[in-house]
Structure 1
Amino acid sequence: MMKIIILGAAGQIARMLTTRLIQESDAELVLYARNATNRLKNPDENRVKIVDGDFNEEAKLVEAMKDADFIYLNDMNSLEATEAIVKAAEQAEQPFLIGATILGIYDEVAGPFGKWNARMVGQTGTNRHKRSAQIVEKSGLDYSLLRLTWLYNEVGNLNYMITQKGEPFIGAQVSREAVTQLILDIVSDPNKYRKTSLGVSEPNTDFAKPSFY
């Protein structure tokens, strides 16, 4: 049976991912988050374990990752936390890491949207995510980094497009539902996405800023 660790399990995409994995797979899940037992309801006690933990608790992370096939990391904003997670994964069975980060970490967003995004995120935020991504890229893990554009919710909208590292990033928005679908696609065919950094957006959203701003 496949085992998947969801780090930051109280986040919106993480919750959507949990629901779909319960409904569409027989995977065993570990839901890891601060105060997780208070913030999360266990959807299936036979398949799901909830763990209270901080991203910086390396020993607890190693234990949670035991026998895991995949890790989904919902937030790479903290350099120290990403480092602890990567070290823990390398000590465990080296599961495939799927990490959610942000667009712009390679200066890959051009034009009016690129300028708007840089102004909104700020150089400090971009640099934090860039350095976190470098930790993953230099590790011994198999991974797929998801450079997500601006997020919104739209039930049933599973449309996404991806660009590779080194290609221009196009697309001002993408639904969380579509990002969840991409994560499931990676889990279904990890070899296709191994050691990639994917720009993730919605087709036909080459806007100067997201439509909801």
Structure 2
Amino acid sequence: MKILILGAAGQISKMLTNRLLQETDAELVLYARNANRRIANSDPSRITIIDGDFNDSAKLLEVMEGVEIVYLNDMNSPEATQTIVDAAKKSGVAKIIAATILGIYDEVIGEFGKWNARMVGRTGTNRHKESAKIIEESGIDFTLLRLTWLYNQEGNERYTLSQKGESFIGAQVSRQAVARLIMDIIENPAVYSNESLGVSEPNTDFPKPSFY
């Protein structure tokens, strides 16, 4: 299997890369701006590092050759998301797993919902909402991950999921748990097919994340 990680210099992407190297025999393409400066190639026999921009359609087409699964770590730009989707469709990519933010369906309720709306702002939420719509309407099998507020905690891989149309509950989740979830989907790509999942940590129904 060949997997492309877009935004490969991010924290979750790096955790995912390490897990894929340890737990699978997948070939990895790691794509990011200034990638060669920001990403260490720990296994040149399995890793290809590409320095590129999400809006570079020609380069995206080139790196997607033979790719089965794409993980997209950033959906802040609808224009870039459209470019990525167009390249994926032309390249025959089978699955897109994409990380976005909570609140794109006005699904975050209560005091936490009010706090989150103040912190994120309508402009940022709308950009992610538009990007999510592009992927949902792409015709490519997808899983969207609507992530709550992130923090790091080694050994904490606990996550709970909610569906589109359900209220989002949970003020935080560890990046380690998100990496575990992505691994679970990669290992069984049919799971959560064409679903938009709210991702949080169990028992974190707080008015704001504990680290704020």
After TM superposition, the score normalised by the length of structure 1 is 0.98
The whole-number CA distance in structure 1 between the counterparts of 2:181 and 2:48 is 24
The answer as to whether partners of 2:157 and 2:174 remain within 8 angstroms in 1 is yes
**How many aligned positions are there?**
212
Answering whether residue 9 of structure 2 is matched by residue 16 of structure 1, we say no
Question: What is the deviation of 1:192?
Answer: 1.6
Answering whether residue 22 of structure 2 is matched by residue 6 of structure 1, we say no
Matches within 5 A, 1:129-208: 129-208=128-207
The whole-number CA distance in structure 2 between the counterparts of 1:203 and 1:119 is 23
The answer as to whether partners of 2:81 and 2:131 remain within 8 angstroms in 1 is yes
The answer as to whether partners of 2:162 and 2:168 remain within 8 angstroms in 1 is yes
What is the SS of the residue equivalent to 1:59? helix
Question: What is the deviation of 1:16?
Answer: 0.4
What is the SS of the residue equivalent to 1:31? strand
Q: In structure 2, list runs of 5 or more residues that go unmatched.
A: none
Name the counterpart of 2:65.
Answer: 66
Q: Which residue type is aligned with residue 107 of structure 2?
A: E
The answer as to whether partners of 2:4 and 2:67 remain within 8 angstroms in 1 is yes
RMSD, matched Cα: 0.6
Q: In structure 1, list runs of 5 or more residues that go unmatched.
A: none
Name the counterpart of 1:82.
Answer: 81
Name the counterpart of 1:115.
Answer: 114
Question: What is the deviation of 1:190?
Answer: 1.4
The whole-number CA distance in structure 2 between the counterparts of 1:120 and 1:80 is 23
The whole-number CA distance in structure 2 between the counterparts of 1:198 and 1:19 is 24
The whole-number CA distance in structure 2 between the counterparts of 1:160 and 1:17 is 16
Q: Which residue type is aligned with residue 144 of structure 1?
A: T
Identical residues among aligned pairs (%): 67
The whole-number CA distance in structure 1 between the counterparts of 2:190 and 2:23 is 21
What is the SS of the residue equivalent to 2:65? coil
